[in-house]
């Protein structure tokens, strides 16, 4: 009774129809596409109650302001502005969890996903035979012609890699276009990673007994704006794949961190060779210079790649770099100690060296995440 009174509206206020479907659109610099996308949704969803939620990562082009301007005249439009957070997966999760509709769809804001498929997805879910409907480019009736040559090859390779390592019951696990029952999504939401580029893959690999259907669609060419797929997105995908393949034993962010560490090793050798041959330094001095340069290079690369969403700016960079180098020095000592101990026990040099390097890398990652970039 108290709940009913709390939810009651005055007589002069018209009670709005609750949305049957929420369309979640993660955005970053998509201001030019918002009006077109809303118009298209209005045409294909005219027979149902729906809303669109733009989950925007504080786009510098004013996407969030454009969405709120439209929302002032169209109550079906909402905007979730995320400040200090980045990532497509996190934007999708936050958008879905902000919805109260029984069904939620995720699609891109670049107009490449076919909005006409939404009704077919919705009907499939309403019939009760599936918990999620995935838009696929790789079944009869679907097409990935909208992908450029190299992106098409990357997508197909990633799909092959995913289906080989993980048991995901779909033909297009890399799809960013799907519709799911909100109650089923909320069950698995605590297990999902906010990092990463492919929320669907994480959802399918994390959920239990999720009934899946597929709906083929034509992936259109991008009309305006630029693709968000880059090196960081590739590393985030590999990190998610590693996490799910190991039962979340490996954290997704560890993969880009290890990639940066590999680049740092290359920098170390190049500086070492230059210091020895060109500068004529002793090995001890050259090794010290190479180690310091490599650690500084690793810090700045991690700051813009691995921890882009937690990037350190301004004068805090000096403090962060000092802590990072101190952690790296401690990790180096641990590396040598573990390797020496193992080598003394079995004299297998490669095993001792690999174990030492792994211990050092895990230490550096764990402490850097918590002390430098303060990841919780």
Look at the block and give the residue holding tokens 């991008």: 222
Would you state the structure tokens that stand for residue 289, as one six-digit string? 């210079």
Is the domain of 212 the same as that of 357?
Answer: no
Please identify, among 219, 245, 271, the residue that sits at the C-terminal boundary of a domain: 245
Is the domain of 60 the same as that of 172?
Answer: yes
- Range in 8-17, 75-84, 96-105 the model is least confident about: 8-17
In whole angstroms, what is the distance from residue 183 CA to residue 96 CA?
Answer: 10
Give the pLDDT of residue 131. 95
Domain region containing 275: 254-372
Is the domain of 35 the same as that of 126?
Answer: yes
Q: In 3D, which of 250, 169, 248 has the Cα closest to residue 204?
A: 169
Cα end-to-end span (Å), the chain: 41
pTM of the model: 0.74
Torsions phi, psi for 50 (to 5 deg): -145, 165
In whole angstroms, what is the distance from residue 197 CA to residue 232 CA?
Answer: 9
Please identify, among 245, 276, 309, the residue that sits at the C-terminal boundary of a domain: 245
Torsions phi, psi for 136 (to 5 deg): -120, 140
Kindly give, in sequence order, each residue whose CB lies less than 8 Å from that of residue 206, ignoring residues fewer than 6 positions away.
188, 191, 192, 244
Is the domain of 209 the same as that of 307?
Answer: no
Q: In 3D, which of 87, 84, 98 has the Cα closest to residue 24?
A: 98
Give the pLDDT of residue 38. 94
Torsions phi, psi for 91 (to 5 deg): -65, -40
**Confidence tier at 16 by pLDDT (50, 70, 90):** low
Tell me: pLDDT of 269 over 50.
yes
Write the pLDDT tens digit of every residue in 289-306: 877 888 899 899 999 888
Kindly give, in sequence order, each residue whose CB lies less than 8 Å from that of residue 170, ignoring residues fewer than 6 positions away.
134, 136, 204, 212, 214
Please identify, among 245, 279, 308, the residue that sits at the C-terminal boundary of a domain: 245
**How many C-beta atoms lie closer than 10 Å to residue 2's C-beta?**
6
- Range in 36-40, 190-194, 346-350 the model is least confident about: 346-350
Is the domain of 204 the same as that of 335?
Answer: no
CATH code of the domain in which 16 resides: 3.90.550.10
Task: State the alpha helices, DSSP H only, in the chain.
Answer: 2-7, 34-44, 63-71, 88-97, 117-126, 149-165, 182-188, 199-206, 231-245, 254-277, 283-304, 316-346, 349-367
Would you state the structure tokens that stand for residue 219, as one six-digit string? 């992936």
Is the domain of 177 the same as that of 312?
Answer: no
Write the pLDDT tens digit of every residue in 100-149: 999 999 999 888 899 999 999 999 999 998 999 999 888 887 766 666 65
Would you state the structure tokens that stand for residue 253, as one six-digit string? 């962010």
Would you state the structure tokens that stand for residue 12, as one six-digit string? 């002069």
Is the domain of 110 the same as that of 137?
Answer: yes
Look at the block and give the residue holding tokens 């230490």: 363
Burial class from Cβ neighbours inside 10 Å (0-12, 13-18, 19+) for residue 106 reads buried
Q: Which helix (H) or strand (E) holds 22?
A: strand 21-27
Is the domain of 229 the same as that of 152?
Answer: yes
Is the domain of 260 the same as that of 231?
Answer: no
Is the domain of 260 the same as that of 198?
Answer: no
Give the pLDDT of residue 347. 61
In whole angstroms, what is the distance from residue 151 CA to residue 174 CA?
Answer: 12
Is the domain of 222 the same as that of 365?
Answer: no
> What is the total count of domains within the chain?
2
Write the pLDDT tens digit of every residue in 166-224: 666 778 887 889 999 999 999 999 988 777 667 888 888 888 788 999 999 888 876 66
Paired strand residues for 77: 52
R_g of the chain, CA atoms, integer Å: 25
Give the pLDDT of residue 3. 42
Q: Tell me the percentage of the chain whose pLDDT exceeds 70.
A: 77
Is the domain of 40 the same as that of 117?
Answer: yes
Q: Tell me the percentage of the chain whose pLDDT exceeds 90.
A: 32
In whole angstroms, what is the distance from residue 151 CA to residue 45 CA?
Answer: 31
């Amino acid at each position: 009774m108290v709940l009913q009174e709390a939810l009651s509206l005055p007589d002069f206020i018209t009670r709005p129809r609750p949305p049957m479907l929420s369309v979640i659109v993660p955005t970053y610099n998509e201001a030019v596409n918002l009006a077109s996308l809303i118009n298209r949704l209005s045409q294909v969803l005219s027979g149902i109650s729906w809303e669109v939620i733009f989950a925007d990562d504080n786009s510098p082009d004013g996407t969030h302001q454009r969405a709120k301007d439209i929302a002032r005249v169209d109550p079906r439009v909402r905007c979730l502005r995320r400040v200090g957070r980045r990532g497509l997966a996190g934007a999708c999760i936050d958008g879905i969890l902000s919805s109260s509709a029984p069904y939620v769809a995720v699609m891109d804001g670049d107009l490449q996903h076919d909005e006409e498929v939404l009704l077919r997805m919705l009907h499939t879910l309403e019939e009760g035979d599936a918990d999620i409907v995935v838009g696929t480019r790789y079944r009869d009736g679907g097409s990935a012609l909208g992908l450029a040559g190299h992106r098409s090859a990357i997508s197909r390779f990633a799909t092959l890699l995913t289906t080989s390592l993980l048991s995901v019951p779909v033909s297009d696990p890399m799809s960013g276009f799907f519709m799911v029952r909100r109650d089923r999504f909320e069950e698995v939401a605590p297990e999902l990673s906010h990092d990463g580029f492919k929320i669907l893959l994480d959802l399918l690999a994390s959920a239990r007994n999720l009934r899946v259907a597929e709906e083929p669609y034509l992936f259109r060419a991008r009309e305006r704006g630029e693709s968000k797929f880059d090196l960081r997105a590739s590393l985030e995908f590999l990190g998610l794949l590693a996490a799910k393949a190991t039962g979340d034993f490996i954290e997704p962010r560890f993969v880009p961190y290890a990639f940066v560490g590999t680049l740092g090793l290359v920098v170390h050798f190049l500086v070492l060779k230059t210091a020895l041959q060109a500068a004529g330094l002793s090995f001890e001095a050259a090794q010290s210079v190479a180690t310091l340069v490599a650690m500084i290079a690793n810090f700045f690369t991690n700051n813009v790649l691995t921890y882009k969403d937690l990037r350190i700016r301004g004068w805090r960079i000096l403090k962060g770099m000092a802590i990072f180098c101190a952690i790296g020095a401690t990790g180096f000592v641990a590396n040598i100690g573990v390797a020496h101990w193992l080598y003394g026990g079995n004299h297998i040099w490669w095993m001792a060296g690999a174990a030492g390097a792994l211990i050092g890398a895990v230490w550096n990652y764990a402490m850097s995440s918590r002390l430098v970039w303060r990841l919780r």
